[in-house]
Amino acid sequence: MSPEAILAFPIAKFPIVKPHDNLVKLILEAEKNSKRRLKDGDIIVIASKIVSVSESRVVNSEVVAPSLKAREIASKNGFDPIHVELAIRESTEIIQTDGVLITETHSGLVCNFSGVDKSNAPEGKYILLPEDPDASAQRLQDALSKATGKKLAIIISDTQGRPWRNGSLNVAIGCAGIAPFKYNKGKRDLYGRVLKRSTVCQIDEIAMLAEPLLGQAGQRTPVVIVRGYSYTDSEESAKDINRPKDEDMFR
């Protein structure tokens, strides 16, 4: 059954998150100060940056010495050598270095600069992705569900580019309490034909739904509540979204 409406709204005026902050406490306090209240079945989309900062995944540029490899890649492309060095450290494989720095991270994401970013970071600092986004999502889901007594799902999102289309979009890099995929195999189309295959990455869709509210600049709305979407949980996680190398069309 399709929902009559799916609602999405931000928790506004969220405080600036600092290393070692209790993110669950900040979310609950911000919710209390807002006009919105969490309900059973809500999906909470959280920008990866505030998860990273709360987990102290912030690096001061002064402590980073770029390697020869990082300096070579940076020089060839006009990149920041410290940014390149951090991307290399966060990667298990360097895939492309011509005009971009595409890597595979330790958590299996294939993205530019291993997701290391300077935007919305204090001067001279870089923010890394959460070390294990699925584990981060699970911790947040456990704590928020326990604190509120409600059934909640968590999606941790990040902005990424695409190799075949211009412009970036929001995708899910971690989840808990919600299955990453929705399977339509066995359902019938408008003309009665049975679908033999149709797998939808629903947590990416929900992350994209939340992106206009999350924003990319100084909006201070890094947490968005999505309501009215029917979902179930599964044993799969956001790690399962990443294609195996033998199925990756770009390697």
Residue 248 lies in a domain: no
Mark whether 26 and 103 lie in a shared domain. Answer: no
SS (H, E, C) 168-194: CEEEEEEEECCCCEEECCCCECCCCCE
Rounded Cα gap, residues 82 and 69, in angstroms = 11
Distance (Å, whole) CA 53 – CA 120: 11
Given a cut of 80, whether residue 188 has pLDDT beyond it is no
Of 126, 152, 170, the domain-final residue: 126
Stated as kind and residue range, the H or E segment containing 84 is: helix 81-89
Q: Three-state DSSP class for 68?
A: helix
Tell me if 1 is assigned to some domain: no
Tally of structural domains, the chain: 2
**Interaxial angle between packed helices 23-33 and 133-148, expressed in degrees from 0 to 180 and rounded to the nearest 10:** 50
Q: What is the CATH number of the domain that holds 81?
A: 3.90.1660.10
Indicate if 140 and 40 belong to the same structural domain: yes
Same domain, 152 and 209: yes
**How many Å apart are CA 215 and CA 51, to the nearest integer?**
16
Helix/strand/coil for 34: coil
Domain identity same for 144 and 170: yes
| One domain, residues 97 and 134 | no
d(CA 70, CA 89): 10
Domain with 45 in it: what CATH number? 3.30.1330.100
Is the distance from CB of 82 to CB of 126 less than 8 angstroms?
yes
- Place 11 in a pLDDT band, splitting at 50, 70 and 90: very high
Give yes or no for a contact between 226 and 205, defined as CB atoms under 8 angstroms apart: no
**Residue 193, exposed/middle/buried by CB under 10 A (0-12, 13-18, 19+)?**
exposed
Same domain, 68 and 192: no
Q: Which of 126, 142, 161 is the last residue of a domain?
A: 126
Question: Nearest Cα to 5, choosing from 226, 251, 243?
Answer: 226
pTM of this structure: 0.92
206 lies in which domain range?
A: 7-56+130-243
Task: Specify the pLDDT at position 66.
Answer: 98
The whole-number pLDDT of residue 90 equals 98
Domain check: are 119 and 196 in the same one?
A: no
Task: Please say which residue of 126, 148, 174 terminates a domain.
Answer: 126
Over residues 66-87, the mean pLDDT reads 98
Inform me whether the pLDDT recorded for 217 exceeds 90: no
For residue 163, is it within any domain? yes
- Tell whether 250 is covered by a domain: no
Percent residues over pLDDT 70 in the chain? 92
Predicted confidence at residue 186, as pLDDT, reads: 63
Residues 135 and 220 in one domain: yes
35 or 180, higher pLDDT = 180
Neighbours of 235 (CB within 10 A): 6
Token pair of 130 as six digits: 């959460």
As a whole number, mean pLDDT of residues 22-44 equals 94
21 and 80 inside one domain? no
Residue 55: both structure tokens together: 């987990």
> Is residue 191 pLDDT above 80, yes or no?
no
Q: Is the pLDDT of residue 194 over 70?
A: no
Q: Is residue 140 part of a domain?
A: yes
Q: What is the bridge-based pairing of β-strands 153-160 and 43-47? A: parallel
Q: For residues 238 and 109, is the Cβ–Cβ distance under 8 A? A: no
Q: What is the mean pLDDT of residues 235-250?
A: 87
Give the lowest-confidence range in 38-47, 48-57, 186-195, 201-210: 186-195
Cβ burial, residue 62 (10 Å; 0-12/13-18/19+): exposed
Could you tell me if 143 and 225 lie in one domain? Answer: yes
More confident residue, 163 or 104: 104
User: What is the per-residue pLDDT for 1?
Assistant: 42
Q: Are 158 and 48 in contact (CB under 8 A)?
A: yes
Residue 122 and residue 177 share a domain: no
- Residue 2 covered by a domain: no
Please tell me whether residues 223 and 158 are part of one structural domain.
Answer: yes
User: Quick check: is 251 in a domain?
Assistant: no
